Structure 1
């Protein structure tokens, strides 16, 4: 996993799914099966894809609380 910088993690903590069934939900709160599905299908290009890939890595390693804690420390 690439080590994201602090600003990236703060943005990730507040980034919302922009479309689809889970539109408006924080990426870190997406169901794991959905993020795994994206991993298997291929993440979208750009910022959303980078963030979903990071969420995937966090979820498979059980580190979602890291982002939830960042969200509490750096409210929007």
Structure 2
């Protein structure tokens, strides 16, 4: 499961209000909006759903060791 977690701190949001922000840094209310409205297809949607679960459960701190300096 480490590869998807690593992608959260590497991949940037490709469009929208938070374009170019790391998926791991997206605000919770934006992730909640996707959860209500539907996640996009493909890898982006899977990563947004994963990040939503991490955020919802208060586990963002677990991504810190994966970040590059």
TM-score calculated relative to the size of structure 1: 0.83
Aligned match for 1:34, one of 20, 30, 35: 30
> In structure 2, what is the Cα distance between the partners aligned to 1:12 and 1:28?
5
1:12 is aligned to: 8
> In structure 2, what is the Cα distance between the partners aligned to 1:15 and 1:68?
15
Q: Deviations over 1:23-70 (max 9, x none)?
A: 000111111111000000000000000000000000010011111221
**Moved beyond 2 Å, runs of 4+:** none
Aligned match for 2:53, one of 54, 57, 60: 57
How large is the RMSD of aligned CA atoms in angstroms? Answer: 1.3
TM-score calculated relative to the size of structure 2: 0.91
Instruction: Give aligned pairs, total.
Output: 69
Indicate the SS of the match to 1:14: coil
Specify every segment of 5 or more residues in structure 1 that has no aligned partner in the other structure, as ranges.
Answer: none
